[in-house]
Amino acid sequence: MKKFFMSLLWVLLFAALGFMYFYQTTFDGRLENMNARAKNIEEKYQGYTDDLHDFDVRLIGHRKHINQNSQRFIELKGELSDVRDQHSSDMFYLNTRVDSLGSIVEANQAQLRSRIDDVDKKVTNLRRTVTQNNIRATQQLQNLSREIEKLQLQFTDLDTTVVKKKVKR
Look at the alpha carbons of 5, 10, 15, 19 in this order and tell me if their dihedral is positive or negative.
positive
E strands within 59-164? none
Q: Over 80: is that where the pLDDT of 155 sits?
A: no
Does 31 fall in a domain?
yes
Does 161 fall in a domain?
no
Does 36 fall in a domain?
yes
pLDDT tens digits for range 94-127: 888 888 888 899 999 999 999 999 999 999 999 9
Does 1 fall in a domain?
no
Number of domains in the chain: 1
Does 38 fall in a domain?
yes
Question: What is the Cα–Cα distance from 43 to 53, expressed in whole angstroms?
Answer: 15
The pLDDT value given to residue 93: 86
Does 81 fall in a domain?
no
Look at the alpha carbons of 116, 121, 124, 127 in this order and tell me if their dihedral is positive or negative.
negative
pLDDT tens digits for range 36-69: 988 898 888 888 788 777 777 777 767 777 888 8
> At 112, which amino acid appears?
L
Q: Over 90: is that where the pLDDT of 34 sits?
A: no
The pLDDT value given to residue 135: 93
Does 30 fall in a domain?
yes
Closest to 58 (Cα-Cα) out of 46, 70, 50: 50
> At 21, which amino acid appears?
Y
Does 135 fall in a domain?
no
Write out the residue range of the structural domain in which residue 43 sits: 14-51
- Lowest-confidence range among 3-12, 17-26, 157-166? 157-166
pTM of the complete model? 0.37
pLDDT tens digits for range 75-89: 988 888 888 888 888
